[in-house]
Amino acid sequence: MNKENTKSIYNYIWVIVIFLFAILVFQLINVKSTYVSKIVLKKENKEARELLDSIRIRIEGKSLSELTLIPESKISEKTNAFILFYIPSKICFTCAERLIKFTSQKKKNEMVFIIENSSNPALQGLIKYYKIQDICEYDKDSIFLKKVSNGVQVKKPLAFTIKGKIIKSSYILGDEVEKELETIFNKND
């Protein structure tokens, strides 16, 4: 009986050791994935800053007609200060919804949307739901994106403040869309 008790105790100890080892492994995996996601986020932020710097150098201070972004469009109808939003086709639904919902509460004469590749049904639904069709322009061949970002694929919405047909400032909208948009609208007043 004594040997059986000893074997039983050893078995319990092995189970506890294996259980603790499994917890340790899961913790290491969690730490590694957190570390990797931080590296990826830093890389994405660096790429976004580089893209924004490139866009600013290329287009800020230039007139819309000089850039020939989208001639004969709703942009050419605007004469006062307004904000031009570019929504890429690869945007996540939540980001697009937050952007469109927030801007739909503002004055429509203060903005224009350029939407890449109008084949995204979720984006089309948002546009119809928030009734902003009359201020949307579609960039079917990504001409606007090619001219603005020099062909670099954009994953987040862009915003440009325009006064007197001159591009004054450029923004890449991140995760805090509402806060960033409030700042942009306040600067544009």
Using the 8-state DSSP alphabet, how is residue 134 labeled? Answer: G
Task: Provide, rounded to the nearest whole percent, the portion of the chain with pLDDT above 90.
Answer: 0
> Predicted confidence band at 189 (pLDDT cuts at 50, 70, 90)?
low
> Predicted confidence band at 75 (pLDDT cuts at 50, 70, 90)?
low
Total number of residues shown for the chain = 189
Distance, in Å, from the CA atom of 17 to the CA atom of 23, rounded to the nearest integer, reads 10
Say if residue 74 is exposed, middle or buried (CB neighbours under 10 Å; 0-12, 13-18, 19+): middle
- Is 113 strand, coil or helix? strand
**37 vs 137, residue with greater confidence:** 137
Predicted local confidence at residue 73, as pLDDT: 60
**92-136 pLDDT, tens per residue?**
788 888 888 888 887 777 788 888 876 677 888 888 888 877 777
Distance, in Å, from the CA atom of 62 to the CA atom of 73, rounded to the nearest integer, reads 18
Distance, in Å, from the CA atom of 63 to the CA atom of 164, rounded to the nearest integer, reads 8
**37-52 pLDDT, tens per residue?**
677 667 777 777 777 7
> Predicted confidence band at 78 (pLDDT cuts at 50, 70, 90)?
low
